[in-house]
Structure 1
Amino acid sequence: MELLLSLAIGILVASGVWLLLRPRTYQVIMGLSLLSYAVNLFIFATGRLYIGGPPVVEKGIEINPANYADPVPQALVLTAIVISFATTALFLVVLLASRGITGTDHVDGREPER
């Protein structure tokens, strides 16, 4: 499970960095989104990957913290997903406005000369 999660995070980071280096604004925005997904998965993994454990600690039973996942990273990731969705929507609106003003979606604001 850890290997699969590590590979997923690595692939998302590599794809995000590759898209960040592209000359079009839409590709840069998608690269930032992929990087934020990778960071969310990394934060989620810090709360321990424990499958099949009870979600709530029962009263009167001896508690072993290793049997429970940490809910704080899960709450942080949920909040980060909502914020990244709103930020991506804002970036797309700015992209459309910039394209309308400049007539191109190149990162520098102009097409390279050939």
Structure 2
Amino acid sequence: MVNIVVYLFTIVIMSMFVNIALALYGILARPSLIKKIIALTILGDSANTLAIIVGYRFAEPYPSPPVLTKLPPSKSDIQNFVSVAVDPLPQALVLTAIVIGLAVTLFLVFLTIQVYRLYGTTDVRKIAKLRG
């Protein structure tokens, strides 16, 4: 019998890959700059969610935060800590990626507004024709 948690994680990971594929389609195939920015945001959010899911640790009875409660720890405390502690690196990297993604999105929105003011459209095909 398949463990239900593993089954659900598999479904979530597969749906994240579908989200990433749809976002790439939106970035490559949509002519509107606004739709490209929205697809880029979806791509970043899906990649961040996938990184968090991949960094999850299955531990019995549950994973614990990476904090030692006894100082100085004994050898058995360290072995227990290593077996159930969650790696904080994926969460830290995702938090950094969220902040950087927000800054990039705001910059792209600013550029799109300037392109709209200059050319009167956000359609990439029309901008290429107007530019010459």
Q: TM-score range by the shorter chain?
A: 0.7 to 0.9
Equivalent positions of 1:1-114 (< 5 A) are: 1-20=8-27, 21-50=29-58, 52-55=62-65, 56-59=67-70, 60=73, 61-64=77-80, 65-108=82-125, 109=127
Q: Verify the 8 A CA contact 1:50 1:68 in the aligned structure 2.
A: no
Percent identity at matched positions? Answer: 27
Q: Which runs of 5+ in 2 are unaligned?
A: 1-7
Structure 1 length-normalised TM: 0.83
Query: Is there any run of 5+ residues in structure 1 with no aligned partner, and where?
Result: none
TM-score (normalised: structure 2): 0.73
1:12–1:37 contact (8 Å) kept in structure 2:
no
Structure with greater proportional helix content: 2
Query: In the comparison of the two structures, how many residue pairs are matched?
Result: 111
Bigger Rg, structure 1 or 2:
2
Q: Which moved more, 1:53-62 or 1:77-86?
A: 53-62
User: What's the secondary structure of 1:63's corresponding residue?
Assistant: helix
The answer as to whether partners of 2:57 and 2:63 remain within 8 angstroms in 1 is: no
TM superposition shift of 1:31: 1.1
After superposition, the C-alpha distances for 1:4-58 in whole angstroms (9 at most, x for unaligned) are: 3313312321220221111111111111111111221222233224473221233
